[in-house]
Structure 1
């Protein structure tokens, strides 16, 4: 995976969201292709396939939207942190993340680690209140699991809490 640091001053929320949406293009394309095949089958004489295909499309879209909200919230937190110089938008087929470069104090790292999962969880609240029987909100609420130390956000949270007033080691930009 090639890392291309972007100066934090050049990062707008539009750029961040475009980068994050670009990161999910392969799963989104696979989802769209699968849905198109289901629609073609429905038109060709198997209409019973359309409702489950639509159900899958909505659930998978909630999953992808939750991740975009999660990572965009990290970007917003990083833009507010004065020690951050660059960010990297990194992605693989099944993962995408925002990697900060520069320096953070422990409490800043803890808050930024919390920002992504909390934003995704809060984004699921309107769905939980409006359509509780469809369980779309769980795709957003499951982001709270990323606060476990097994995941990067959880490790950053623990590291930030342990070094509350101290510097947290981040990647540095090569000069």
Structure 2
């Protein structure tokens, strides 16, 4: 059988380039949002706790080390997206980690999925991803993990003469107390 006409693959190649650009844009958007969360967590905890990502396939190998390069714009995640474990870690001792969720990335970044208290939350765009992260970071299980790391950090500090502790009251106000070490 002979070919009657030669097929032009130029349109297919053009589509492939467009899909690649869309994928890169989506992955950068996801990482930018996670970086914003990272900054908020560090501000909230006075830089005692941060957030990181690690390849879920290397879960046991990398459990001890924080993956600082996650937020680097040349991140290998941009070249080859894989499912990522999102975790809190103590900045002073990055071997102390608490896994928060699994981030499943779609073939083009979106849709992406996170898990909150056993519920699967899928995001189709940056806005819904931010909404789902808000649900994750306001959940009691995430709060417990963050609290355990902050308390662990407090236990590891050497006490000075006076320690000022800020604790929220039930009405939302802040109560200040000073304790003497010794």
* Greater relative contact order structure (CA < 8 Å, 6+ sep): 1
State the TM-score, normalized to the length of structure 2: 0.36
Greater per-residue helix proportion = 1
Higher strand residue share: 2
**Structure whose CA Rg is larger:** 2
